[in-house]
Amino acid sequence: MSKIILTGDRPTGRLHIGHYVGSLRRRVELQNSGEYDKTYIMIADAQALTDNMDNPEKVRENIIEVALDYMSCGLDPEKSNLFIQSQISELCELTFYYMDLVTVSRLQRNPTVKSEIQMRNFEASIPVGFFTYPISQAADITAFKATTVPVGGDQLPMIEQCREIVHKFNSEYAPDKPVLVEPEALLPQNEACMRLPGTDGKAKMSKSLGNCIYLSDPAEEVSKKIMSMYTDPLHLQVSDPGHIEGNTVFTYLDAFCKPEHFDRYLKDYANLDELKAHYRRGGLGDVKVKRFLEKIMQETLEPIRNRRKELEKDIPAIYEILRKGSEVAREAAAQTLSEVKSAMRINYFEDAELIRRQSEKYQA
Ligand code: ATP
Ligand code: MG
């Protein structure tokens, strides 16, 4: 069986370091590994509209931002197919048919949707499109017969839901020759990357919450955000023992720090465990740890920022990449949709046998 990647992001803002550790960094590795037959990367504008129906301009403006962020991180349109969700109308058709396979109570149980509804104060009036976006996401994944979906931890319930839809579809409509493929989520390597908190330490870093370090933030901005980051409120004096758990600076170090960073920037310690032990004991100030984190972040973000500046010089070329990518994606999705409709027995005009049989019934 082919190995196929599908993943994407909502164009609700520029991409941030949570996206980077949650999925983007891994995608680039997978793209370059040569182990996958196809990689599809989708800008999920239709999904973004489900909770931004009153602000289509925001979605429209951010498509190019997300595309620039993708390519500046190393996604290469020669190797990965970059496309825009709304341009593939087949995805809407698939969503409509999959809706018959999912119950309202199943959707209500989805923990990510539950917390997102709360976060957006939608309790009283949830847009149906938002409520059902896990179904549309299943359409996105299955349209490309994706086997692998590299995502952050918040997306696990969506992949689970998708697998259920695939299972139901295949057993209901295609028991002998499965049409759809059950995807696997590919989660980040460690806890910190599964759900990187915002700089306020309160919740997941999220475009909608304004607690982000963006991949395209200028160096001074990154520095300012790190220096004012949430740490341990009980660590008042340098000599006080400090807490690592829930301390955002250490969570970011878990996500970004590599052994060689100590060699380069903080020779007094051999590794992160030693640094953490000193902080716990007391005698290590927040500013020293923040400065170390800042060096690591600048080293990580600088090449991304520089590549973006180059890419920004030719915006029409990026739109052209997305246009071509959308054409390729559309062909693949159309093929799956046609198989789905045959399996569901809604391919009347291609079914000569049906027409002959009905005709005989009335001629007899
Ligand atoms: P929005 O607020 O519009 O939902 P978002 O910041 O949550 O935006 P998405 O476009 O919903 O970003 O998510 C895109 C991908 O990035 C998903 O795979 C998601 O799991 C991952 N991701 C988003 N935020 C984080 C985070 N803080 N830590 C790890 N992964 C994340
Ligand atoms: Mg999100």
Question: For the chain (length 364 residues), average pLDDT per consecutive 10?
Answer: 95 95 94 96 98 96 98 97 98 98 95 89 88 97 97 93 98 97 93 90 82 96 94 89 93 95 93 95 93 97 97 98 98 98 95 93 88
Minimal-distance CA residue to ligand 1 atom 18: 151
Whole-number Å distance, alpha carbon 143 to ligand 1 midpoint, is 22
- What's the pLDDT at 124? 78
State the ligand closest to the CA atom of 197: 1
Strands of the sheet containing 38-43, edge to edge, are: 81-84, 38-43, 4-9, 148-150, 184-186
Tell me the CA–centroid distance for residue 354 and ligand 2, in Å.
Answer: 45
- Residue 110 near ligand 1, beta carbon < 6 Å: no
pLDDT at 206: 85
For the Cβ of 18 lying below 6 angstroms from any atom of ligand 1, the answer is: yes
Picking from 131, 118, 127, the residue whose alpha carbon sits closest to that of residue 53 is 127
Residue 123 pLDDT: 77
- Confidence (pLDDT) at 299: 96
Closest atom of ligand 1 relative to the 209 alpha carbon: 2
With 0.85 as the threshold, say if the pTM is over it: yes
Tally of CB atoms within 10 A around 188:
20
| Helix-helix angle 286-311:219-227, to 10 degrees | 150
Model pLDDT, residue 288: 94
DSSP conformation class of 24: I
- Which atom of ligand 1 has the smallest separation from the CA of 150? 18
The atom number, within ligand 1, closest to the CA of 195 reads: 28
CB of 22 sitting under 6 A from ligand 1: yes
pLDDT number for residue 192: 86
Q: Is 151 in the pocket of ligand 1 (CB under 6 A)?
A: yes
The token duo for 156 is 């696990």
Which ligand 1 atom lies nearest to the CA of residue 198?
Answer: 27
Our answer on whether the CB atom of 329 is closer than 6 Å to any ligand 1 atom is no
What does the pLDDT read at residue 183?
A: 98
pLDDT score at 171: 98
First CA to last CA across the chain, in angstroms?
A: 47
150 lines ligand 1 (CB under 6 A): no
Atom 19 (ligand 1): residue with closest C-alpha?
A: 152
Is there an atom of ligand 1 within 6 Å of 14 CB?
Answer: no
pLDDT of residue 122: 84
Cα(239) to ligand 2 centroid in Å equals 39
Q: How many CB atoms lie within 10 A of CB 114?
A: 13
